[in-house]
Amino acid sequence: MYLERFRLAGETALITGGGRGIGLACAEALGEAGARLVILEPRLEEAEAAAEGLRAKGFQARAIQGDVTDPARMDACAAELQDWAPSVLINNAGVGRNGTSAENLTDAEWRLMMEVNVGGVFWCARAFGRAMIAAKRGVIVNIGSMSGTIVNRPQAQTAYNTSKAAVHHLTRNLAAEWAPHGIRVNAVAPTYIETPMVLAVPENQERIPVWIADTPLGRMGKADEVAAAVLFLASPAASLITGAILAVDGGLTVW
């Protein structure tokens, strides 16, 4: 009876930035639970490649091109997906950049972080949320960060952290506004996860021991550990949960 509540048969899940990293792991988790999958990426080839890989694993998956910073394109995606209208939206697309001190942040860096990490979440929620409101049901899971909850060390990360704090509050606001429409809105707040976003930054090699020392469980996380939490929040197992920011952080934020 309880395991059935994790099933997503009959649901369609759209994952922004689902081509790799945490987004791709979320797609696999939701696919295993029975959802049809839509992978949204700025470059169609990347979305197609991910969708093909997912189909090879036996999931129903399709690709769509879209940059989450383009509100008109997100509205167009919602129109194009009328026969695959998402009942589950995973707002995963994000950009991160560590180490630029606040006084040296450029206008362009600040704007990009806000446009993708906050604007993208809002514009996707608005575009795909309209059909959920019409259907009187839906689930949204946003990927926040532990750094939206605390100021992590040792790197300067003012723009990224501020954008993720905004994601957390956007989550709570949408949860309150859309609960009467039958829509649940939650977020996960992961610790450092072994994905290209983190591993591709050479300076992070020196930071990793500090992060591990700061973490009660004594390690970084893996994308599938975030995906498992996303699956829980997206599924009927979390039917009474909305407006929650679920820490997936090995205890990093308990101090």
- Active-site positions? 160
Q: Figure out which of the listed residues 116, 165, 170, 174 binds ligand NDP, where binding follows CB under 6 A.
A: 116
Q: Which stretch binds ligand NDP (CB under 6 A): 5-13, 73-81, 86-94, 98-106?
A: 86-94
* 183-212 positions binding ligand NDP, by CB under 6 A: 190, 192-193, 195-198
Closest CA to 69 of 139, 140, 16: 16
H-run or E-run covering 247: strand 245-248
Check binding of 67 to ligand NDP (CB under 6 A): yes
The whole-angstrom separation of Cα 39 and Cα 232 is 20
Interface with ligand NDP (CB under 6 A), residue from 8, 93, 233, 252? 93
Which alpha helices (DSSP H) does 9-119 contain, by range? Answer: 21-32, 44-56, 71-80, 107-113
Sole window of 14-22, 56-64, 99-107, 128-136 interacting with ligand NDP (rule: CB under 6 A): 14-22
Structural contact between residues 171 and 124, judged by C-beta atoms closer than 8 angstroms: no
Q: How far is the CB of 143 from ligand NDP (least distance, A)?
A: 4
Output the smallest distance, CB 48 to ligand NDP, in A: 13
Q: Where are the alpha helices (DSSP H) in 57-137?
A: 71-80, 107-113, 120-135
CA atoms within 13 A on the CB side of 214: 19
Interface residues with ligand NDP (CB under 6 A) are 16-17, 19-23, 41-43, 46, 67-69, 92-96, 116, 120, 143, 145, 190, 192-193, 195-198
